[in-house]
Structure 1
Amino acid sequence: MKLLYQTHSPYARKALVAAHELGLAGSVQVIHHETSPTRQNAEVFALNPLGKVPVLLCDDGQVLFDSSVICDYLDSLHGHPMLIPVDSKQRYRALQWQALAQGMADAGIAVRWEAERRPESLRWPTMRDGQLQKVIAACDFLEREIGTHAAVDIGTIAIATTLSWIEFRGVYPFQTGRPHLSSWYAAFCARPSMRATTLSGDTND
């Protein structure tokens, strides 16, 4: 399998962390591709009409995107799911946390656009603040709930990789005043899957 990847993407990192947790990292060739809304990558667009990574080229010829679909596919290769629980209650909790992480990452990226990436004359502080409030509210939710969901599943992988990106980009100091979330995050970041996939680099617009 080949994974089109970006070393500073929270979405791509989620897929690669999942591969590590499933013991599949050795079967995945990681190929770095820079993508940006302002710079089209023709190779990525040829495989994903949205022009985004991650994209997984499967051994059977399938081309899969986005990260949630890729993680679901990787989980299916075991014959029994490991990251997306079968039990209904656990399954929908894990998927909901994955959705929360996706929303946090989307909001964090919007914050960066309005705070630093967009030309200064075009920035919209009200939009920045509104998107940041989503990140803050999600972190407050996690501070309350993180102790009740200790499993390593698609939900907690998504949360950890999103928080790592928020920290990496300096979007918001989520660990301040949140001892439960901070402790959980530190422990998750110590996992081999996280240590093998550290974020690096910057977006080239």
Structure 2
Amino acid sequence: MKLISADASPFARKCRILIHEAGLGDRVEVVSLTTTPINTDPQVASANPAGKLPALLRDSGPALYDSRVITRYLDEISGAGLYPQARIWEVLTLEATADAMMDAAVLMVYEHRVRPADKVDEGWIEAQWAKITRSLNALDARWMSHLSGPLDMAQIAVATALTYLDFRHADRSWRDTRPDLAAWHSKFCERDSMVATAPK
């Protein structure tokens, strides 16, 4: 199998972390490339008609895309148990929260990257950050006990989202008013899978 990835993509990184945690490194080749919404790499377009990363090329069957589809599939074939049935709805909800944060954070980046400077909509950017702020507050207020529990995909997704905020939006200083969440993230980032996949 091949994972079509990009080093800076948080969605692709989430899959790479799972590959590491699930011991699938010898079964999944990671193919890193560069693509943008306005200049889509042909390999990406071939694997995913929406032109988004990541995509998983399987030895048999069509390509899989959307990071949550890929992580569920890789967890299933590896038996890693990162989607435990006993708390599946909490895991899926928390993963969706993390993905929404990443989506908003990526949109903030593209607002500056693909628009002329005089067309950048600061109101749009702040609206995306408001989504992230509400999500951070929810994590801090409601989800710390889950994050501190046994490893699952929700924790991987949240840690990936928080690292992306550090990577692209460090000036927003999300840690300053959320010491418990910040401490959890710092500890989680010591995992081998996080170190091995850290954005450059």
Structure 2 residue 187 is the aligned partner of structure 1 residue 197:
no
Q: 1:162 to 1:22 in 2, by over 3 A?
A: same
Equivalent in the alignment of 1:98: 95
Query: What secondary structure does 1:46 align onto?
Result: helix
Classify the secondary structure of the residue corresponding to 2:38: coil
Determine which of 112, 126, 144 is the counterpart of 2:141. Answer: 144
Q: Name the residue aligned to 1:203.
A: none
Unaligned runs of 5+ in 2: none
- 1:116-166, CA deviations, whole angstroms, 9 ceiling, x for partnerless residues? 552111111111111111111111111123421123211111111111111
| Corresponding position of 1:82 | 81
1:54 corresponds in structure 2 to 54
The SS at the match of 1:27 is coil
**Quick one: higher RCO (CA 8 Å, sep 6+), 1 or 2?**
1
Secondary structure of the corresponding residue to residue 103 of structure 1:
helix
TM-score (norm 1): 0.90
Q: Give the distance between the partners of 1:115 and 1:63, measured in 2 at CA.
A: 31
State the Cα deviation string for residues 71-114 of structure 1 (Å, max 9, x = none): 01111113x45111112xx1000000111011111111222233
Report if the CA contact (8 A) 1:115-1:128 is conserved. no
Q: Check whether the contact 2:104–2:128 (CA below 8 A) recurs between aligned residues.
A: yes
Structure 1 residues 35 and 116: alpha-carbon distance in aligned structure 2, compared to 1, 3 A threshold: closer
Aligned-pair RMSD on alpha carbons? Answer: 1.5
> Would you tell me which structure has more helix in proportion to its own residues?
2
Counterpart position of 1:71: 71
CA contact (8 A) 1:146 1:180 kept: no
Query: In structure 2, what is the Cα distance between the partners aligned to 1:81 and 1:116?
Result: 37
Aligned equivalents of 2:110 and 2:36: distance in 1? 12
Matched with 1:107 is 104
121-130 or 58-67, larger mean C-alpha shift: 58-67
Report what 1:28 is aligned to.
28
Cα separation, 2, equivalents of 1:115 and 1:128 = 9
1:4 to partner: Cα distance: 0.6
Matches within 5 A, 1:7-18: 7-18=7-18
1:26-63 deviation per Cα after TM superposition (whole angstroms, max 9, x unaligned): 22111112111111211210111011111111232431
TM-score (norm 2): 0.93
| Cross-structure match for 1:124 | 121
CA distance in 2, matches of 1:193, 1:145: 26
Name the CA distance, whole Å, in 2 between partners of 1:23 and 1:15.
12
